[in-house]
Chain A
């Protein structure tokens, strides 16, 4: 038996933070603050039903329906609710449109504000000090490092979600997609294109 197999049968000891989390959960259950099953019920929605596939549907609809796009840019919260999306961290949504000459990107320098109903929970890098520190100061350099090389002629607008508004970027529709259905278009839309660290 290899060492790897042997390790497999002896799980690593709990990390200190894991011990703290489980101790707090136990204590709150004992005191009746949380009920058995509550955490699984809450978390499974974010693991299965709430994520960037929702935002992708919003984007695809805006690409095929100019009247919807106009409503989306005028009142993001209401237009997104038309597709059935809303809830925590989505009470006040603003959608900002990329054009050939303007690129938008979203950050939260103070914490991790993010439009949960359309993008799900944020990835670690979005919450990390390098992204939060640099996105407002040197976005063109940072975006290039992250794989998006924008020419100097493209204006960059960085949106720091410091209050109650949550932002989603409406990326440009890629060329050569004229014959695609709304569903096929939604499949082209990435999470990062709706944060603004990528284009399609």
Chain B
């Protein structure tokens, strides 16, 4: 989905606020949330793809105004309610009020991947162009590389395609690649010519260029 989480290249956020000697956790509740996420993962109550998509489905205003551990909390609560492990009523009784959950899944992936991949379609040095896909569901293809040309720099092996794994119990295994993009290809001719951005992309996201 073209969500608020897909931040690469956006303007207007201002400086990066670096905290000196930052603690691992700022509040005891952040420890609790980290532990809940690990616990629900250990019990296979979620996978990382569903979890990331549950964060992406947060209300954009809530996403931008809350900390990362609040994202984790919201996504965990959302998935547990969607799976029926807890009910919204139970949660709201526990907090004594409303609880913000992520919006429902709108659609699954727009990708119809091949059942299996025997050999990688691209090699180191292959010129590629990123497909201009805009699925309503989960994807790990950032908006800022769609339609852009790059060159494969590594073939990383076979991994579950997140676009499928976030929405079904199927595992679609596919090659993933590292692709180098010239900064001017991404941001126009005025961009810094001595900058390149390297992005890891699944085969379904790419076409030969």
* Chain A residues engaging chain B, CB cutoff 8 angstroms: 15-28, 31, 33-34, 38-40, 42-43, 46-47, 51, 92, 94, 109-112, 120-121, 123-125, 127-134, 136-140, 142, 145-146, 152-165
Contact = CB atoms under 8 A, between A and B. Distances in A.
A156 B194 contact: yes
Interface stretch (B91-99, B106-114, B116-124): B91-99
Given A20-B95, A110-B6, 6 more contacts: A24-B76, A111-B55, A136-B144, A140-B192, A158-B196, A162-B140
- 9 closest pairs, A vs B, by CB? A39-B35, A23-B94, A109-B8, A163-B200, A130-B13, A21-B29, A18-B29, A133-B10, A133-B7
A2 B194 CA distance: 58
B52 A111 contact: yes
B36 A27 contact: no
Nearest to A24: B77
Given A43-B34, A140-B192, A158-B196, A163 B91 contact: no
Interface residues of B, number: 73
B187 A137 contact: yes
Given A120-B24, A162-B140, A34 B66 contact: no
B15 A145 contact: yes
8 contacts: A28-B39, A123-B18, A124-B68, A137-B191, A155-B194, A157-B198, A162-B199, A165-B200
B196 A33 contact: no
B166 to A, nearest CB: 12
Contacts of A46: 24, 34
A137 B191 CA distance: 8
Contact of A160 (B35, B86, B154, B198): B198
Interface string B115-159: 000000000000000000000000011101000000000101001
Contacts of A15: 27, 29
A72 B6 CA distance: 31
Given A28-B36, A33-B85, A146-B18, A133 B8 contact: yes
A21 B33 contact: yes
B43 A33 contact: yes
Nearest to B37: A42
Interface string B196-207: 111111100000
Contacts of B55: 111
Interface in B160-199: 176, 178, 186-187, 191-192, 194-199
A94 B196 CA distance: 17
A191 to B, nearest CB: 10
A15 B73 CA distance: 14
Nearest to B202: A163
Contacts of A145: 15-16
